[in-house]
Structure 1
């Protein structure tokens, strides 16, 4: 084939991308047919969070784009076909066109924790006045009333010094952007949730004829999409649909292609500067499932909103620009903000701020309160990933009890890669939540700090604290921490000795002669 023939063949094979309607119309077409994201996702062979990303503005590519365009075109024709002609006699609206009930109604399942507020409060999702609250959060029951709709970003009704969306040097929200989290209610749950982890392990072992090493390698390779499938499954019945590709302020975006963003996670790299005289046996403890435990943390569930001032609302979570307090206990305990050489303000996550506020309170009194300058926050909950975390923890516990190293390595890869790839990563296109990534990592560091404090409080000498899972101590650590492989237990990583032995008294006396 000549060069020109190759070019002609390339041109013949090239196809223009199928056009798609605007993001807001995509969601309207789906909702017009009373279809859930999960139903559409199943038909297209993708995850519900992927469909949510497309409805937020992400563009699909390749064959799945053609299938999605075919669905949207069919949905438009179906909806247009249900519209009566102008000169036709007036007919009762078909059932599908009648006003739909709100996703959450005050008369629904009493377990939904829906209450009527005595006075309107800002909706946790859009900031506009709402007269109901769900699970303690004020919000609109009907998504149509909520200002999270794509084409109508609304200012938050609040006093001038409180939280309002702001275009500042730290970020601006383009028209039509934003986190769109809609109330989903207590959706239908299946009687028995499928064991996705067990099925995947069994299929991998069968595909590789029982070869443990090959099955493990294959499972680890697919850990990211499998973790997202598990997340979608565990979100069934959740109170909120989470858009996986939200708008985020510039402080949460990389400053350069290979650089980092402006968030400080407070990773500890601390070694006790001086040990008492003598020889000391040090045990390096390994904290099990550090990132798995950190999935239980306060995560923002709505649009991040900008605020200024030195007040912290415990019902909200996000990132905060603070001036940290002086730390005067570095001789015995690591600094809660980690190893940082530069003084001055820095952006920290919710777990770090809460740790500093707690340590500055009357119970501990270890430092002054941090000074909060500005924040990007939203209404928060600790339970957003709780079912996901529980499924992984239970599978991990079963694997340990059954000595199943294949499942153990698979589960570990699922939760560790889930956390590490939810930022600006090419490996996980299903989820883009840089704020969550930083918050979960910081929670793991905070958990390690509290273990160091517990050791110190119980009379152990803390020698070193590193990363998420490494704590070095001297003394009877088994009286403080349970030993084992469970998430709430620790295991020995290493034992070593440091320091000089005490001088022999007789030798010391001979030296005086």
Structure 2
């Protein structure tokens, strides 16, 4: 966020706000009008999970709040909500008789979800492609078109399709501690594994990428081809557009996600402008002594550091506390550890970053996994860290993989075509997505400070591993900073591919460093 964005946010919050009824009244109004959350979400250009949050304990802000208040005022004018009871959900759900196009379909009912409300089912005026098989479907479940009858999914006639998972499943208002789901691709039940072909049916790379392309074309058309004006508009929309892209790429996903879970105090800011207790292990290291002589140093820029870091082990559900247990690779979260002594500071940065004070500290999953890896028999660079306690949940490394690939593909295409508008838009989408998923007023749909720390730490871990690779390949590592800056001496092109892709590096700067030992010796002799 720029300083002006922050000021705009402050100005937007000054002045009278549109009045909203209590959350339970909001839900009652919507149900009386027989409107699904998906319909309201589309009208207000938000996700269905956001509407769920508004009907529980959260309020919209800015222009969205004004639009939502206008909708609720209009519904209140149509229905007397003061004393009349809420219509039971079963009565508000459309039935087969109301849908001539699906006269032979079974009676509609909500699809249950773990720990949440049932998915909403609506009858479509015109059939839409099913997210599982791609063939026309007459109903939409949780905002996604699909067949209610498993036999109607033509790609898997003998296997019931998996329950559609809304991208962001909101928890109840009060914290609920429950066992975390540990389902993974390697531990899935046989019936889940058999659904692979159906789940692959919607993995079309053109879909999510088209969302990005359509947004860019619309912005350019709106501003009559003015590149600067279109880019400015797209950058302001980067966060909500990233969340919509996330929803699109999570269609039919195997895992449900809790978007606003209970968070332990260690993940909460200690003061309004302060930080929480999590240490991200950000590299900030410069080599103390260079080899004798003058050297040409190349500062390498690591492309798409945060984009690559989206592939990391993320906890799915609410974090649960444990103490005295060994590390479980099927889970992820944050851990209180005593880090090992690092004896290679002269040639490589400490994997936990520059930390002056000794003793235990809270680190994220990528940092712990890096330390465990370096303490293993392959490297043997340090002792294992001592784990005191942890907050973890069942995890997967592929939670954001489709989202990452969609952004990567759009980025690659933009670079190939010299499309700077799309390139800046995509960069803003993934960088702001990472920076606002914690305690931020810019993103109300996702509150996962644990994810934010984990993704950032993964970027730092990736940079550290590049430093290790450079060292192992005979380069002299001079500096490692943040997520994307690595300074080396030597033939780096034999180690790292050069380019603008996310698996490549580019030259940021070159300079000379060191001491000319010949001149230094001659000067000493003359004295």
TM-score over 0.5 (shorter chain): yes
Give the distance between the partners of 2:428 and 2:485, measured in 1 at CA.
19
Give 1:127's match in structure 2, choosing from 179, 185, 208: 179
Residue of structure 2 equivalent to 1:18: 21
Taking the TM superposition and a 5 Å limit, the aligned residue runs for 1:178-193 are 189=202, 193=207
Give the SS at the match of 1:224.
Answer: helix
Residues 264-289 of structure 1 show CA distances to partners (whole Å, capped at 9, x for unaligned) of 00001000011121111100000000
Residue of structure 2 equivalent to 1:412: 427
Give the distance between the partners of 1:455 and 1:266, measured in 2 at CA.
20
Give the distance between the partners of 1:445 and 1:100, measured in 2 at CA.
40
Contact 1:307–1:375 (CA under 8 A) maintained in structure 2:
yes
**Structure 2 residue 496 is the aligned partner of structure 1 residue 481:** yes
Give the distance between the partners of 1:508 and 1:278, measured in 2 at CA.
15
**Structure 2 residue 77 is the aligned partner of structure 1 residue 77:** no
**Structure 2 residue 390 is the aligned partner of structure 1 residue 375:** yes
Structure 1 residue 308 displacement after superposition: 0.3
Residues 171-190 of structure 1 show CA distances to partners (whole Å, capped at 9, x for unaligned) of xxxxxxxxxxxxxx959849
Give the SS at the match of 2:446.
Answer: coil
| Residue range with higher mean Cα deviation, 185-194 or 471-480 | 185-194
| Residue range with higher mean Cα deviation, 215-224 or 285-294 | 215-224
Normalised by the size of structure 1, how large is the TM-score? 0.74
Give the distance between the partners of 1:347 and 1:100, measured in 2 at CA.
37
Q: Do the aligned partners of residues 268 and 36 (structure 1) sit closer, same or farther apart at CA in structure 2, a change above 3 Å counting?
A: farther
Task: Please give the root-mean-square deviation of Cα atoms over the aligned residues, in Å.
Answer: 3.8
Give the SS at the match of 2:293.
Answer: coil
Contact 2:183–2:394 (CA under 8 A) maintained in structure 1:
no
Give the distance between the partners of 1:242 and 1:290, measured in 2 at CA.
24
Give the distance between the partners of 1:339 and 1:281, measured in 2 at CA.
26
Give the distance between the partners of 1:222 and 1:82, measured in 2 at CA.
35
Structure 1 residue 232 displacement after superposition: 1.1
Q: Do the aligned partners of residues 308 and 37 (structure 1) sit closer, same or farther apart at CA in structure 2, a change above 3 Å counting?
A: farther
Structure 1 residue 240 displacement after superposition: 2.8
Taking the TM superposition and a 5 Å limit, the aligned residue runs for 1:252-271 are 252-271=267-286
Normalised by the size of structure 2, how large is the TM-score? 0.72
Give the SS at the match of 1:196.
Answer: helix
**Structure 2 residue 290 is the aligned partner of structure 1 residue 240:** no
Q: Do the aligned partners of residues 112 and 358 (structure 1) sit closer, same or farther apart at CA in structure 2, a change above 3 Å counting?
A: farther
Residue of structure 1 equivalent to 2:58: 58
Structure 1 residue 507 displacement after superposition: 4.2
Aligned length: 429
Residue of structure 2 equivalent to 1:46: 46
Give the SS at the match of 1:296.
Answer: coil
Q: Do the aligned partners of residues 511 and 59 (structure 1) sit closer, same or farther apart at CA in structure 2, a change above 3 Å counting?
A: closer
Residues 40-96 of structure 1 show CA distances to partners (whole Å, capped at 9, x for unaligned) of 52255421331343366324454415646959979942637479xxxxxxxxxx934
Q: Do the aligned partners of residues 489 and 238 (structure 1) sit closer, same or farther apart at CA in structure 2, a change above 3 Å counting?
A: same
Structure 1 residue 138 displacement after superposition: 7.0
Q: Do the aligned partners of residues 56 and 201 (structure 1) sit closer, same or farther apart at CA in structure 2, a change above 3 Å counting?
A: same
Give the distance between the partners of 1:259 and 1:36, measured in 2 at CA.
40
Give the distance between the partners of 1:109 and 1:441, measured in 2 at CA.
40
Give the SS at the match of 1:491.
Answer: strand
Q: Do the aligned partners of residues 451 and 508 (structure 1) sit closer, same or farther apart at CA in structure 2, a change above 3 Å counting?
A: same
Contact 1:188–1:237 (CA under 8 A) maintained in structure 2:
no
Give the distance between the partners of 2:334 and 2:350, measured in 1 at CA.
19
**Structure 2 residue 379 is the aligned partner of structure 1 residue 385:** no
Taking the TM superposition and a 5 Å limit, the aligned residue runs for 1:182-261 are 189=202, 193=207, 195-261=210-276
Contact 2:24–2:55 (CA under 8 A) maintained in structure 1:
no
**Structure 2 residue 286 is the aligned partner of structure 1 residue 280:** no
| Residue range with higher mean Cα deviation, 69-78 or 373-382 | 69-78
Contact 2:326–2:387 (CA under 8 A) maintained in structure 1:
yes
| Residue range with higher mean Cα deviation, 409-418 or 213-222 | 213-222
Residues 429-473 of structure 1 show CA distances to partners (whole Å, capped at 9, x for unaligned) of 222111100000000000000000000000000000000000000
Give the distance between the partners of 2:85 and 2:108, measured in 1 at CA.
13
Structure 1 residue 136 displacement after superposition: 3.9
Residues 370-422 of structure 1 show CA distances to partners (whole Å, capped at 9, x for unaligned) of 01111100000011111110010000000110011111111111111111111
Give the distance between the partners of 1:97 and 1:294, measured in 2 at CA.
40
Give the SS at the match of 2:517.
Answer: coil
Give the distance between the partners of 2:355 and 2:348, measured in 1 at CA.
15
Give the distance between the partners of 1:432 and 1:491, measured in 2 at CA.
34
Give the distance between the partners of 2:157 and 2:381, measured in 1 at CA.
48
Contact 1:188–1:236 (CA under 8 A) maintained in structure 2:
no
